[in-house]
Amino acid sequence: MNIDRIALVRRFALAALAGLLLGLAGCNTVHGFGEDLQHLGGAISEKAK
């Protein structure tokens, strides 16, 4: 492998890792938002009774 190809592979690996970490962070955020909406819906249902 020449130097340019090694640099390209390293950049690709770094980009893949960054994408994975951002994806995991996004999943946790969306999950938390869903739980908040669920609690809000329960509170509204209780007030309606």
**DSSP string computed for the chain:** --HHHHHHHHHHHHHHHHHHHHHHHHHHHHHHHHHHHHHHHHHHHHHH-
Distance in angstroms (rounded) separating the CA atoms of residues 35 and 42: 11
CA distance 18 to 39: 32
Mean pLDDT of the chain: 85
pLDDT above 70 for 1:
no
Q: Give the pLDDT score at 15.
A: 95
| Residue 39 pLDDT | 87
pTM reported for the whole predicted model? 0.54
pLDDT for residue 12 is more than 90: yes
Query: Is the model's pLDDT at 45 over the cut of 90?
Result: no
Q: What is the pLDDT of residue 32?
A: 81
For residue 11, give every residue at least 6 positions away whose Cβ sits within 8 Å of its Cβ, in sequence order, or none.
none
